[in-house]
Structure 1
Amino acid sequence: MRRTALARTAVALSSLALLATLSPAAASAGGRPPAHGSGHTKPELRRVGYFTQWGVYGRDFQVKDMDTSGQAARLTHINYAFGNISPEGTCFTGNVPGEADAWADYVRPLGAADSVDGVADTADQPLAGNFNQLRELKAEHPGLKVMISLGGWSWSTHFSDAVRTPESRRALVSSCIDLYLRGDLPRDGARGGPGAAAGVFDGIDIDWEWPGSAGDSDTVYRPEDKRNFTALVREFRVQLDALAAEQRGRHGQRRHYELSAFVPTAPAKIDAGFEVRRIMRDFDFVNLQGYDFHVSGEPVTAQQSALRARGDFSVQQTVRDWKRRGAPARKLVVGMPFYGQGWTGVQGGGDGMGQPASGPAPATFANGYEDYKALRRLAASDAYTVHRDRRGGHAWIFDGTTLWTYDDPAVLRAKAAYVRSEGLGGAMFWSLDGDTADGELTAAVDRGLRRR
């Protein structure tokens, strides 16, 4: 899922392409987990949660909610979704409907009630909006890293054009580093200016969906995307390391800017777009698509995020396919959904799985797509029955007509145990705003990953 929640789901319904999503949270019981990096003898498993730029509107999910829910204390990384690339091949921002939202990013003033530090924004401060709140959140949680995610399903349009030559790749990477890591934001009244967002972001997450194969309807792709993606990753690594060296020389502090990507589950898409052994040398980690294996636009109900599934897409299959192509297990982070895919008009009775349906199920923001917090309420009602495939590692609810397939705490605990048993790099979630107010799903994953 990458652009706006509504747009992504619309694409899922119109095409049966495999998409992507996920996030983490915290629990109200048992106290907060240890601070990041506090005494672990082994490297801490990553917990990467996507925060959606547009979630501050209809869902009213603010940066502060990651703190009050306990999510922030249980995350190692926040991926901010998304940054866009212009037709000219550079990272950009502004107030362009459907293309960029500087108002949400760094212009919008927040009152004391919505601010992480409890202090209202002023009219003359150069940084406000989500970016300023992320800066405040990091001050509350030392060690928490924030990555800017570039692209997504809707905003991968110009990647292919932007990376065709060494000169264009250098220009693209330089523009992204200037905008997000140096923090040189365009001026918007009192907001923005050189260095206004410096220190907010700790790295780059490449969400190109998909190099070398079809994505959104207007996304350009070419066979040469595969080698150009490798070259893009190398260019990011070189320029990120150069920035770190420059800043170390100036301030005497050693810093490492992280580089990650969101990558697909389908073997055909992996082979079309990714020289796995080569790119993994430059990535700190990659986030594996662990959901949207089947979507509500399909005519038959099916699992969307099974841990194991014979002859079908699954988390286990995705992990094996990336490892077979040369990806180190410790750099593979498993995507987990904080939402469900749903069908209505399901025929055939039984538990509803694998049956024909008339279409996507009605939902809060977009038919066929519903946040976990809403599905949790349905599962607790008398109308629905919870079903589990314990061998396959997935769950669904069915009322005789409407079926929703989703991950609940029990499923996520099993996935966390799988991550540990396979020596993988951690878990990623799309997206944090789908969790409950007390971060139930994030807490379940966090506890599962901390078991030794």
Structure 2
Amino acid sequence: MNAAVKRGILLLAVLSMALALFVLPASAGTAYPSESRAVVGYYASWAAYQGVTPDQLPGDQLTHINYAFAAIDPNDSTLLLENPEQDRKNLKLLRALREKHPHLKLLISVGGWDDSLYFSNAAATAQRRERFAQSCLDFLLEHGLDGVDIDWEYPVSGGPSGMVHRPQDKQNFTLLLQAVRDKLDRQSKQDGRPYYLTIAGGAGSEYLNKIEVEAVARTVDHIFLMAYDIHGPWDTYADLNAPLYTPEENSPQYKSSVFDSVQTYLNRGMSPEKIVLGMPLYGYRYDGVSSRNNGLYSTFSSAASVPYHVLERNYLSQSKYRKLYHKEAEAPYLYGEGTFLSYETPQSMAAKAELARTHGLGGIGFWELSQDRNAVLIQSARAAFMGGAFTDVAPGDWYHEAVEYVRERGLMDGTSAGVFSPRRPVNRGMAAVIVHRLEGSPSAGKTLFLDVAQQSYCREAVSWAASKGIVGGYGDGRFGPDHTLTREQLAAILYRYARYKGYDVSGRANLTGYTDSGEIGSYAKPAMAWAVSSGLIHGLADARLAPRGIVTRAEAAVILMRFCESAAD
């Protein structure tokens, strides 16, 4: 069955999200998916050593963060932190992140590939199950978490060297989950808080044969379907990590796909709303491959995983790697100089999320958050799962309405096809372009600044805006088109444009109540007072105006919409 036919049989789900527009991010709320529509991310404890601490995670893009991993004490079957000092620091930072994003649910993930060795022992007897379940609850209460994620890799058979297995693991897994569920439900009745129980599951029938599917599904809130590592360095041949669809071409090894994994779960009676479709934020690099077929299905000499942010920096920008796309599998890959690299793009992630959405799945998720440091893949997948014009702007986002507003009026475009980049800073050149577009893009003379070239995208806009006194340079012949725009600079530009248009700019707010009002530049004080008075710029939650704070594209869209709808009336 080809990909087009498969897409044609997808169950269409009608999804509606209320549009909400708030103030700026520090004090803004996001309309998040309901708890039945999850966006889950795993954060690995070791990521902190690699420079990504929990406070850097995109809390506004997620509903759940699973902290990976806690181990199991082989002596008494209780939860065990392998690096308590660092783990406690990480958990503290996660709680601080939740304070900024109160919708977030924080779960401790137990097990994983390396730390699943003693699950079988913990599940083997009623006494051990009781001890394990109580330790899970105690851990949540001690660290202020919201739930437990069980990542047993794997019951009955499989897993790392030294793994303990029993034939009874299939039934004991259900009993272990029920013991934990009972503890969480009892605690919930006591303190009125919901507590969550989730599991991570393998991609295929081999895993499902090792668990009691229906009983497990009844017990847990959702199952994180690990729909990646379909192929990897353990194979004999270089292949695609997480193809959306299964290629029908001949292959020297087994074939499967994300689509097949989802269908397998559904065919085994799993309710779609219980499934969270897991996606990889990394690729696999295979070295020593043949040039035949651009390395696909070739033997290789070595292989390793590559985080997406490394792939962006070291591979996608290098001409020696050719960007290729397997149309049937809907999977991108690279080839060059004896190297084959299977990876994800914003578009491939959006396609996976669209599959989850049209199947009515309960959510999407990612392994592992530190590997996508700018949340490029995460934003794209989330937006596609929720639906939206840009792959990185979802209907529930606080800036969604404003982005659509400025796009429809031609004030702001995407940064590339289907991508808006809401977190990217606005620069001074783009600010000039925006007011130029507000005015209908009139013609202008030659550039007045040494650092604005005649062929620059912003040359005409800067020349026109400068000639009208709307923008100015630094006094040394430079404009600084690539310099990031601050909140006070945007206020000043809009103030001058409004004055040029003859709008009423007499309003002045008293800014003394803001703790950083003294940081406003003298040139921008009237403009900031007017912008606050007009409701264009709001103070942040901590009583600051942040006049020198950088303006993101999302913020610019919101402020522009407010300007067009109120200040220009």
Match of residue 221 from structure 1: 165
Q: What SS does the corresponding residue of 1:305 show, helix, strand or coil?
A: coil
2:287 matches 1:351: no
1:297 Cα deviation from its structure 2 partner? 3.2
Residue pair 2:120, 2:165 contacting (<8 A) in 1 also = yes
Alignment partner, residue 355 of structure 2: 418
Provide the rounded CA distance (Å) in 2 between the counterparts of 1:266 and 1:282.
20
Secondary structure at the residue paired with 2:47?
helix
Distance 1:79 1:212 in 2: 24
Residue-by-residue CA offset, 1:139-191 (whole Å, 9 max, x unaligned)? 1001100110000101000000111111110111101211x2121xxxxxxxx
Deviates more, 1:378-387 or 1:146-155: 378-387
Asked whether the equivalents of residues 287 and 301 of structure 2 are also in contact (C-alpha less than 8 Å), the reply is yes
1:395 deviates by 1.3
Deviation of 1:32 (Å): 6.3
Q: After the TM superposition, which residues 33-432 of structure 1 pair with which residues of structure 2 at under 5 Å, given as runs?
A: 35=29, 37=31, 45-57=37-49, 59-66=50-57, 71-93=58-80, 100-106=82-88, 129-178=89-138, 180-183=139-142, 197=143, 199=144, 201-247=145-191, 254-271=192-209, 273-310=210-247, 312-360=255-303, 368-377=304-313, 378-432=315-369
Report the structure, 1 or 2, having the larger strand content. Answer: 1
CA contact (8 A) 1:260 1:285 kept: yes
Secondary structure in structure 2 of the residue aligned to 1:429: strand
Is the 1:307–1:315 contact (alpha carbons within 8 Å) kept by the matching residues of 2? yes
1:435 and 2:391 matched = no
2:72 and 2:79 in contact (8 A); partners too: yes
**Which range moved further: 44-53 or 142-151?**
44-53
Letter in 2 for 1:153: W
Q: Which amino acid aligns with 1:370?
A: V
SS in 2 for 1:379: coil
Are the counterparts in 1 of residues 78 and 131 from structure 2 also a CA contact under 8 Å? no
Classify 1:165/1:236 alpha carbon distance in 2 versus 1 (closer, same or farther; 3 Å): same
Q: Secondary structure at the match of 2:300?
A: coil
Q: State whether residues 212 and 269 of structure 1, in contact with CA within 8 Å, keep that contact through their aligned partners in structure 2.
A: no
1:91 deviates by 2.8
Does the 8 Å CA contact 1:36/1:144 hold for their aligned counterparts?
A: no
Cα distance in 1 for residues equivalent to 2:163 and 2:30: 38
2: distance between equivalents of 1:450 and 1:289?
A: 20
- C-alpha separation between the residues in 2 aligned to 1:182 and 1:43? 21
Alpha-carbon distance, 1:426 to partner: 1.3
Structure 1 residues 78 and 450: alpha-carbon distance in aligned structure 2, compared to 1, 3 A threshold? same
Cα distance 1:35–1:308, how it changes in 2: closer, same or farther (>3 A)?
farther
Task: Give the aligned residue type for 2:378.
Answer: T
Question: What is the alpha-carbon distance in structure 1 between the residues aligned to residue 35 and residue 64 of structure 2?
Answer: 14
Deviations 1:231-274 (A, max 9, x none): 11111111110011122xxxxxx321111000011312220x21
Superposed CA offset, 1:94-130 (max 9, x none)? 5xxxxx0001111xxxxxxxxxxxxxxxxxxxxxx11
- Residues 85 and 159 of structure 1 are in contact (CA less than 8 Å); yes or no, is this contact kept in structure 2? yes
Higher helix proportion (structure 1 or 2): 2
2:317 & 2:93 partners in 1: Cα distance?
34
Pick the structure with greater CA Rg.
2
Distance change (3 Å), C-alpha of 1:91 and 1:318: same
Partners in 1 of 2:86 and 2:204 — Cα distance? 34
2:523: which partner in 1? none
Per-residue deviation at 1:404?
Answer: 1.1
Distance 1:43 1:165 in 2: 33
C-alpha distance in 1, partners of 2:36/2:178?
26
Calculate the TM-score normalised by the size of structure 2: 0.61
Question: Per chain length, whose mean CA-contact separation is higher, i.e. which structure has more relative contact order (CA < 8 Å, sep 6+)?
Answer: 1
Asked if the contact 1:45–1:449 (Cα under 8 Å) also holds between the matched residues in 2, the reply is no
Percent identical pairs in the alignment equals 31
Gaps spanning 5+ residues in structure 2: where? 1-23, 248-253, 389-569
Q: Which amino acid in the other structure matches residue 289 of structure 2?
A: V
TM-score (norm 1): 0.76
2-side partners of 1:349 and 1:441: how far apart?
30
CA RMSD of aligned residues (A): 1.8
Whole-Å separation in 1 of the counterparts to 2:351 and 2:103: 27
Asked if the contact 1:74/1:442 (under 8 Å) is kept, the reply is: yes
